Amino acid sequence: MKITYLGHASLLIETNGKKLVIDPFISGNPLAKDKFVVENIEADYILVTHAHQDHVLDVQDIAEANPGARLISNFEIVTYFSKYGIDGHPMNHGGSWNFDFGRVTMVNAWHSSSFADGTYGGNPAGFVIESGGKSVYIAGDTGLTMDMKLIPLFAKLDLAVLPIGDNFTMGIESAAVAADYVECNKILGYHYDTFGYIEIDHKKAKNIFDKAGKELILIPIGDSIEI
């Protein structure tokens, strides 16, 4: 499973011959917009955790550039985008589905979820993705929650992708506790540095995880890791 950081909370996951784009927010991200051409991003699936603008901004452009791409999200978000002709697979919390690339479980996130125009965006979620013999937890925007202790029941994780930017989500200290709750020692940090509210000290962040016996991976936008 290859995971490329597209900036903010956007990821490209390549697994089992499929391309999964997570929470695409590139054209509005000052740190990412010059690094990618949104219309050139290839996707077989687009996974969306919640309806906030910094997670859905480029869904439509990527879907239009990739005819046949399916949106995987909660019922409300899939319904919203279906009005724009985007094909989707609706899910809800606690449910799993076997796709051609692997299994997705929609899990809880403690946050909010509304579209920029005020439309109700259902409840915010995270995903556990099991594919190609690997399992990754993508937390979405969330605070630290006891529900994270349920994640190991769904899968033994090889990687947890956790927000670390604070203010709108968990900060670094909470994310280190979350890593414990989900029983994973390898963490990819996301949702940081994009704007002033969520700028972090990278060295301090890595030290906090080091002390907790965990590895925090922070990679430049456009770089990839393999798990």
Q: Which stretch binds Ni ion (CB under 5 A): 44-52, 87-95, 157-165, 175-183?
A: 44-52
Q: Site residues for Ni ion, window 150-179 (CB under 5 A)?
A: none
CA distance 34 to 181: 37
Q: Does 23 bind Mn ion (CB under 5 A)?
A: no
Q: Does 166 bind Mn ion (CB under 5 A)?
A: no
CA distance 18 to 124: 25
Give 148's DSSP letter.
G
CA distance 187 to 87: 32
Which of Mn ion, Ni ion, none is residue 58 near (CB under 5 to 8 Å by kind)? none
Residue with tokens 């399992």: 135
| Strand order across the 45-47 sheet | 88-91, 70-74, 45-47, 18-22, 10-15, 2-7, 224-226
Interface residue with Mn ion, options 54, 58, 76, 130 (CB under 5 A): 54
Nearer to Mn ion by Cβ, of 54 and 166: the residue is: 54
Q: Does 141 bind Ni ion (CB under 5 A)?
A: yes
Q: Does 52 bind Ni ion (CB under 5 A)?
A: yes
CA distance 128 to 148: 11
Which of Mn ion, Ni ion, none is residue 130 near (CB under 5 to 8 Å by kind)? none
Interface residue with Mn ion, options 141, 157, 166, 170 (CB under 5 A): 141
Q: Which residues bind Ni ion (CB under 5 A)?
A: 52, 141
